[in-house]
């Protein structure tokens, strides 16, 4: 709590202080008006207002916040529960990472063993057979959230079944949130975003990028040829191999 109260990063909910008393325990945070990303995606009106441009900007905010925790805090902090419920939005749809109830300090000279924590559907697969927590656990959860933003819902079916069948051709346009208009000017930024999501979801932690690398990929300006295939004919396999 003392470390969190010192954090000053624009995409992390500001904590002003806390009280730890035998009778009373509470934390004082900034109030974020819009509520969670999960609630926004479930609300038809708000989900439509959260257009592709806002979703891409939101992804950048979250990536920058997690990168700050991993690479700019000393000692580094692992959130361990990056989910759409723990990403809050203000009235302009700017994102703030919140809920550090399961966060842990990463100790370089320690094995970092810990009891399983997090939310089902966002937990990195390696935690099912090992209790060693690393920053790559947050990277995996971030990848799930990115796909959730693209699809407008949790990508459970895509992760559990569809992608395991390498023979099946999946069109990108078929997984996009149908409540929004088909991307046009944002195509060059959505394709790299989807590709980044799958790189964060690699089964091997070593194969995933660091959050610092992920953030740099997001803010890198796409070239005019980065999406040479129109969304109407683009497949997930093409995105992943590009």
**What is the distance between the alpha carbons of residues 5 and 3, in angstroms, rounded to a whole number?**
5
Quick one: tokens of 80?
């361990």
**What is the distance between the alpha carbons of residues 98 and 88, in angstroms, rounded to a whole number?**
7
Output the CA angle 76-80-86, nearest 5 degrees. 110
Just list the catalytic residues.
81
Quick one: tokens of 113?
């063993």
**What is the distance between the alpha carbons of residues 104 and 44, in angstroms, rounded to a whole number?**
35
**What is the distance between the alpha carbons of residues 240 and 179, in angstroms, rounded to a whole number?**
24
Chain position carrying tokens 């094995």: 111
**What is the distance between the alpha carbons of residues 100 and 65, in angstroms, rounded to a whole number?**
13
Quick one: tokens of 19?
């009280």
18 CB-near residues (< 8 Å, 6+ apart):
1, 5, 25, 26, 27, 28
**H helices present in the chain, as ranges:** 2-5, 37-42, 44-49, 52-71, 135-151, 156-160, 172-175, 187-200, 211-219, 236-241
């Amino acid at each position: 709590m003392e470390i969190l109260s010192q954090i000053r990063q624009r995409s992390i909910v500001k904590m002003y202080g806390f009280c730890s008393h035998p009778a009373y325990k509470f934390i004082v945070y900034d109030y974020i008006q819009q509520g969670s990303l999960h609630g926004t995606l479930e609300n038809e009106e708000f989900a439509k207002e959260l257009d592709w441009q806002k979703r891409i900007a939101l992804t950048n905010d979250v990536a920058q916040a997690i990168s700050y925790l991993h690479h700019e805090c000393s000692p580094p902090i692992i959130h361990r529960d990056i989910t759409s419920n723990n990403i809050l939005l203000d009235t302009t749809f700017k994102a703030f990472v919140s809920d550090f109830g399961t966060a842990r300090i990463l100790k370089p000279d320690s094995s970092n063993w810990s009891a399983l924590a997090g939310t089902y559907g966002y937990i990195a697969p390696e935690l099912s057979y090992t209790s060693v927590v690393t920053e790559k656990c947050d990277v995996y959860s971030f990848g799930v959230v990115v796909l959730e933003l693209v699809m407008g819902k949790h990508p459970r079916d895509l992760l559990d079944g569809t992608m395991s069948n390498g023979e099946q051709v999946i069109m990108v346009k078929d997984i996009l949130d149908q409540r929004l208009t088909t991307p046009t000017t944002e195509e060059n930024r959505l394709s790299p975003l989807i590709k980044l999501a799958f790189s964060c979801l690699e089964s091997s932690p070593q194969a995933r990028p660091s959050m610092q690398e992920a953030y740099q990929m997001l803010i890198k300006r796409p070239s005019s040829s980065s999406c040479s295939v129109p969304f109407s004919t683009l497949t997930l396999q093409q995105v992943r191999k590009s």
